[in-house]
């Protein structure tokens, strides 16, 4: 079945997944630039980048399945502007952070958004501000963006000028299927063996999804407020050290044995020896888990060619 369900939210869900994965890339790019860099999500914006506890960048992440273009009347643009107006109101007199629109789409040729790229040769804040104010006041403009355009016009001229001056449009960002390649480049695992590279990414991203859940779970009174670049760097170093040429990768997570797996070991000699030692059922199950953990690693190393059978035989001898 290949037809799209009429009420499918696949695109929206992919956008949320992209936001979490792109946040990891954003933080990984900052650990060597700012020792006090940190990140949080869904506070002032999709992604808040901090120096210590001070917001220095607010990031709107926009993922689209097709290439497409983002133009002056785009809902992505005006939804972002509306979000930034709200954020600046919350910040009050605090210094304005950089306001970045990260989109997988291409900026339309001739669009005012060309004037809001980071490139100093094409950046023209004054012209972009005038164009945005004209579009915001257009009564014939798209109905979808009208509330957001009106919100922009309710800001004072001084605030509108300051806001537009902080906007940077980053178009042609990697799509969700390309984020792994970008992450490999940022953390420096692209030179390693492909198999190990993928395992490093999987372990790092597994940790990151747990961290993301801790930051986003508003129901948890002791939830994590943010994650620092230093903590991420420590995690990256730890994971990569496990895949160094001189060591075999070890998974920290002990597999929980099913009842069927426990039963499969009951006729083993070492189980009978444990029973002779008068160990209780819980202790025997613990040792079975350790044995199973070691056996699983041995099979994985052979399957992924980290070692060959002759090396294992030599070690056992």
Q: Which tens digit of pLDDT belongs to each residue from 133-187?
A: 999 999 999 999 999 999 999 999 999 999 999 999 999 999 999 999 999 999 8
90, two tokens = 């919350």
**pLDDT(254) > 70:** no
pLDDT for res 213: 94
pLDDT for res 31: 81
CA dihedral (157, 161, 162, 167) positive or negative: positive
Find the DSSP H helices in 99-258: 125-136, 146-154, 157-166, 179-187, 194-216, 229-241
Lowest-confidence segment of 3-12, 25-34, 302-311 by average pLDDT: 302-311
pLDDT for res 218: 86
The Cα 46–Cα 42 span in angstroms is 5
Q: Helix, strand, or coil here: 103? A: strand
Q: Give 33-55 pLDDT, tens digit per residue.
A: 888 999 999 999 999 999 999 99
**pLDDT(1) > 50:** no
Count Cβ neighbours within 10 Å for each residue of 193-230 and write b for 16 or more, e otherwise. Answer: eeebbebbbebbbebbeebbeebeeeeeeeeeebbbbe
In eight-state DSSP terms, residue 258 is: P
Tell me the Cα Rg of the chain. Answer: 26
> Counting runs of H as helices and runs of E as strands, what totals does the chain give?
12, 8
Mean pLDDT of 116-133: 96
The Cα 23–Cα 41 span in angstroms is 8
Mean pLDDT of 254-269: 73
**pLDDT(305) > 60:** no
Pairing of strands 69-70, 106-107: parallel
pLDDT for res 9: 72
Predicted TM-score of the model (pTM): 0.75
The Cα 132–Cα 183 span in angstroms is 34
E-assigned strands of the chain? 37-41, 47-51, 54-62, 69-70, 98-103, 106-107, 167-170, 227-228
* 32/37: higher pLDDT: 37
Highest mean pLDDT of the ranges 6-15, 45-54, 182-191, 298-307: 45-54
């Amino acid at each position: 079945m290949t037809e799209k369900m009429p009420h499918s939210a696949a695109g929206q869900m992919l956008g949320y997944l992209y936001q979490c994965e792109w946040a990891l890339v954003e933080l990984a790019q900052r650990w060597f630039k700012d020792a006090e860099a940190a990140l949080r999500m869904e506070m002032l914006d999709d992604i808040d980048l901090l120096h210590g506890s001070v917001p220095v960048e607010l990031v709107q992440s926009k993922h689209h399945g097709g290439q497409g273009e983002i133009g002056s009347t785009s809902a992505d643009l005006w939804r972002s502007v509306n979000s930034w107006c709200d954020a600046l109101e919350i910040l009050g007199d605090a210094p304005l952070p950089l306001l970045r629109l990260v989109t997988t789409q291409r900026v339309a040729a001739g669009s005012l958004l060309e004037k809001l790229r980071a490139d100093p040769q094409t950046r023209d804040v004054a012209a972009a501000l005038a164009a945005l104010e004209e579009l915001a006041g257009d009564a014939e403009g798209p109905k979808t963006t009208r509330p957001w355009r009106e919100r922009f016009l309710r800001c004072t001229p001084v605030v509108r000028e300051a806001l537009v001056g902080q906007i940077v449009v980053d178009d042609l960002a990697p799509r969700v299927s390309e984020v792994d390649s970008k992450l490999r480049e940022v953390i420096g695992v692209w030179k390693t063996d492909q198999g190990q590279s993928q395992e490093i990414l999987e372990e790092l991203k597994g940790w990151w999804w747990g961290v993301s859940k801790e930051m986003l779970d508003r129901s948890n009174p002791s939830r994590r407020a943010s994650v620092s670049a230093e903590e991420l760097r420590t995690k990256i170093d730890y994971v990569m050290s496990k895949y160094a040429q001189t060591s075999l990768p070890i998974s920290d997570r002990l597999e929980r044995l099913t009842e069927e797996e426990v039963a499969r070991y009951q006729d083993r000699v070492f189980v009978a020896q444990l029973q002779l030692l008068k160990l209780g059922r819980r202790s025997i199950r613990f040792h079975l888990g350790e044995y199973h953990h070691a056996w699983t690693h041995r099979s994985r190393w052979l399957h992924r060619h980290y070692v060959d059978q002759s090396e294992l035989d030599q070690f056992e001898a």
